[in-house]
Each structure stands twice: as structure tokens, then as C-alpha cells.
A and B are shown apart, each in its own frame.
Chain A
Amino acid sequence: MATDKAATVSQREDPPRRAERRGLVRRLGTSVLRSREASVAIAAIVLVIYFQSTAPAFLSSGNVANLAGYAATTSIIAAGEVMVLISGEVDLSAGQVYALSPFVMYYAHEAGVPFIFAIVIGLIPAALIGLITGLITVVFEIPSFITTLGTLFLINGLTLTFSGGYPVQPDAGPTIAAIFGGNALSQIIWALGITLIFQFVLVKTRWGMHTIATGGNLIGAKEVGIKTGLVKIGNFVLCSLLAGLAGILDAFRIGSIDPLAGGTEIMFMAIASAVIGGTLLTGGSGTIVGAFLGAIVLGILKDGFTLSGVSAYAFDMILGGAILLTMLINVRLSRLRAAGGKR
């Protein structure tokens, strides 16, 4: 009898089919209100229009290149932070890894290693730092906020010590530099590529699904047999690697490696991009594309205010307000979704 009932129900409305069609419509972007990425994209467009009308130099090629370079760096680090945040942790030391990796690359090259391999060598300490951070966090069950706060100072001291505090200039020749972020276009391609790859990893691979499960329900994920420790450690390594890569790309773009570059500033910008893009700090939910768009919004705000002559003090106030506002909207939107929206 129960099966008869099931049959009539499915004849009447065929719910899976409808859901599929609805899913398609959503993907086409009609439900702008409910899509986190779309609302951030709209904010970016509105800001571009506003700044172009107040400062005509805004869309000049020089300024766009400047803006793109800034947004690209931030978004590459943000992609890693989103993965770590979704797994239920946070990496505060990304900005210091960003400063360390290009130095290691530089010294490897000084020691006679060709640049292409020196880049790989530069990424090794980044991966190791991610591994150690992850192990300490998972094995000793120390909150990653504390672990990475410790490694933040540790790595900073390390970079300052063996650089002697002085910036250096990498000379890799035009080809290597052009490939590895030497100009804004190359860096934007890196950022776009990384964003798309990590978005794919997040929504379409087992790694992404297990990352969501780990951050969404840690005990439940363990109970079904997901190796949650491994997932967390893996994402710390990914985040650290991306931070190191961002540092190396910036070294070629700026043409100088500064031991004081990056730091907490770029790390918080990356986390801010993630949050503005719709990633929750509580774990289990987030989007890499959103973080990419968030980085662009932050870049536009920063650059636009500079061009319109607004002081750096005002920028910080507006940035703070923007983060609070997006968080409020995020909470509202997820409630809306939970109360019978789509997805």
C-alpha cells in the first residue's frame, strides 16, 4: 500500500525532475538573491561604475593592471584560506609563508639552482609549514587559531633572520618572470586558474566533499570513517603552498622580495575576501569563486579610494563596515535558504 502511495506521489509531481530543472535555472543565475557569488559580482560592478564616475583614471589600463595584480595575489591566498575555513580551521600564518617562500627561492637560485627549480624549492618550506601546522593542530588538538598564531611569529622571525632584514631583487630573465606573474595579465591568469581548479575540487571531487563534511559535522564525518585529520592537514598544506606561490608570483611582479611584505595585512585581506565572498568561519560552507570576487571587491575599494583621494584611515573603516554588513547579509541569506529556498 505504501508503494502505491509512492507511485501516485511521483506521478503527480515527479519531484526529482522538478528539482533538476530548478537546479538548472539556479545555475543560469536567475535567483541572484540566493546566490552568494552573484551578489558579490553585482557589488563589484556597482563599485566600478561608481569609481569610474568619480575618478576617470579608474579604468585606465595602468590602474586596471595595478588593481588586477593586487586582487590576484589576495585571491590566490584566499582560495587556500577558504579550503581551511571550510574544514573548520583557520590559517593566520599565510602572510608570513608568502614572505618566506620567495626568499628561499632567491637563495636557492643564488646557490646555482636554475630559477624554474628554485621556484619548486621555494615552495617546499611552504608545504612543510602547512604539514607541521596541520599535525600540531590535529594531533595535539590545539585550535588552529593558536597554532598558526605561533607559526606566524616563528616564520616572520625566520625570514627576517636569514634575509638580514634587507630586500633582494630576483633576476630571472623576461621569460620566467612573464610566466610566473611578472605582469598583471600573467598573475590574473594564475589567479583565475587556481580559482577554477579549487572550485572544481571543492564541488566536484571527493576531497572537496570530505572537506565540507569535516567542517560541517566533525564527529559525524569521523563516524562514517572519513579521515578528518588527514583532510585538515591536507588543506593546511594546500593553503600554505598557495600562500608561498602568491609570494613568488608577487616577487616577479614587483621585482623585489621584501622580508616585511605580506604579513598579517595580506592574510586578513584574504580571509576578508573569503568572508565577503560567502564563506562561513564556522566551517562546512564556502565558495572559492566567491572569495575570488571578494578579493576583486576589496581591490576595487582600496584602489578606488586611493584614486578618489580618500585616506587609508577611511578605507579601513569602510572595509570593516563592509565585512560586518556582508556577514549580516550572509546570515540572513542562509536563513532564507533554510526556510524553503533552493539548493
Chain B
Amino acid sequence: MSEEMLRGEHLSKSFGRVTALKDTSIRLDKGEVLGLLGDNGAGKSTLLKILTGFHQPSSGKIFIQGKEQALRSVGYARSLGIEPVYQDLALINELSVYRNMFLRRELMFGGFLRILNDSAMRKQAKEQLRQMGVHIPSVDVEISRLSGGQRQAIAVARSVYANAKVLLLDEPLAAMGVKESTMILDVIGRLKEKGDVSVIIVAHNYAQIFDFCDRINLLQNGEITFDRRTKDTSVEELTSLVVNEYRTARGTKTSRSDLNIQ
């Protein structure tokens, strides 16, 4: 049995009268890549933001390496090694690549003056990107000059560099061409080989990420309805589940329990 990295138990979240997540439990092992699938509005982003400390769950508990933790802020979750890569990437267009990579963990000198040590940050950013196989023209260019794939790669590299234990990737391949997707999947593949980072990939296009995942969870209407190892399922099975969901939504007589394939 592999070592547990992160566990969420009976997590719920409501925004006013809207219930985004109901009684969801999730588990992530060390070095595991978990694909969290679901349609738009299924609660993927809410679950992710609870795990990053951005939202507080209405109820439920979170355990990090077996220890119960209240993820009261993004900063606290980060201090435990949980690094999110949001869909909007949280990159600052006006700042250079290396400054973006050190956002909120700047290398500084001068005591309370907090003067940025640009040459050290530049050097380390360069080295980190090289190690991860991310190719960009220069770490000095502003983020606004990079392509979507390059930006995503920078955001992932930034999180890994922060000594992430758990990497949460929100739709890393959204709106990306085959070539760019390959670059990101390459980066994730390398992380997986090393085995010291656990990853949750949130996606609604499961075909792209299927081969990279060890396990697949399917989130539907705020509940995890499917949890299986990748080798025990197939893209076809997932497709039939999703097709079923659409049929249900259109009012075909399929009861919710039929979707819970255990």
C-alpha cells in the first residue's frame, strides 16, 4: 500500500444557496498522478480551491500526510507544499519570466528594504527551466511575449521550484494545440518519473491526459461518482459515463444510482 499524501473527507461547499460541492471525499498517494474529471460546473474548481486554501469548506476535513490541517489561507497551504497552478496561471504580464517564477518567494538582500536580488533569481530560474526541459527565448522577456504553452510551462515550473509536494493543475491543456500540450505533458511526465511530487490534474477533456494518470476520479454535480485506477478503466468507459450524464441531463430515464459504478 502506497503512502498517503493528501486526503479530503466529506468536503462540502455552498455559496449562498448554491451547493458547489456535496460530501466529497478524495485521496492522493505520494508520487501519484490523479486525473480529476468532470463537466463545467461539476465542482472541480471548487474542490481544487478548497485544497489550495483559497476557499474554506463549509464542512469536512483535510489531512496532509495523515495529519489533519485547516487550510486557512493560500499561503498556509503553500507552506505545507500544496502548489496550485490556476487556469489563469496567476502570471503577471508586466513582469519578466524570472520575476514571475519568484513571485512571493523573492530572493532579496538589504534587510527591511527588501531589495530584489535579480541576478540570483535570473540564474536560478534559467537553471530550473533547463532542468525541466522548458524552452523559452530568455528569462528576461515579459510574460506577455510568451505563447500559451510557454506560460503554462512557466507556471508549472514555478510551482515545482517551490518544492511542491502536491501540484494542483487546473485545466493545464485548455485551449492549447497539440504541440503545446505535448510540451506540458512532457514536463508532467518528467515529474512523474522523479516520483517526489503528487499531482492532481483537473480536466474536462480526459482523452488528452488519460495516459498520464495513475487514477481517475469523475466529479458530477458536486459528487465524486467514479474512482478507479487507470489500468482498470478505459477512455471508452469514461465516455459512456459522460454520455450517460448528458442523457440524464436531457431527461432520459436513467437514475443517478446507475451512474455510480463502483
Contact = CB atoms under 8 A, between A and B. Distances in A.
Interface stretch (B55-63, B91-99, B192-200): B91-99
A87 B25 CA distance: 40
B95 A216 contact: yes
Contacts of B116: 204-206, 209
Contact of B93 (A10, A207, A216): A216
Contact of A2 (B86, B103, B113, B186): B186
B228 interface: no
B91 A220 contact: yes
A2 B86 CA distance: 26
Given A20-B140, A225-B78, A205 B115 contact: yes
Contacts, number: 94
Q: Give chain A's interface residue range (CB within 8 Å of chain B).
A: 20 to 34
A9 B137 CA distance: 10
Contact of B88 (A219, A284, A340): A219
Given A206-B116, A225-B78, A225-B104, A220 B133 contact: no
Contacts of B106: 206, 209
B172 to A, nearest CB: 15
Contacts of A207: 114
B138 interface: yes
Interface in A270-297: 284-285
Contact of B84 (A15, A223, A226): A223
Given A205-B116, A225-B75, A284 B92 contact: yes
Interface stretch (B141-149, B217-225, B253-261): B141-149
SS of B interface (majority): loop
B90 interface: yes
Given A16-B139, A217-B91, A225-B74, A3 B103 contact: no
Interface string A89-126: 00000000000000000000000000000000000000
Nearest to B53: A225
B19 to A, nearest CB: 24
B229 interface: no
A15 B133 contact: no
A222 B84 CA distance: 12
Nearest to B77: A225
Contacts of B130: 6, 10
Interface in A188-220: 204-207, 209, 212-213, 216-217, 219-220
B94 A284 contact: yes
B88 A220 contact: yes
A328 interface: no
B92 A2 contact: no
B99 A220 contact: no
B92 A217 contact: yes
Contacts of A10: 130
Contacts of A225: 73-75, 78, 104
A143 interface: no
B205 to A, nearest CB: 23
Interface in B108-156: 108, 113-116, 118, 122, 126, 130, 133, 135, 137-142, 144-145
Contacts of A213: 92, 94-95, 103
Given A204-B116, A225-B78, A338-B144, 6 more contacts: A3-B133, A16-B139, A206-B114, A213-B95, A217-B91, A220-B91
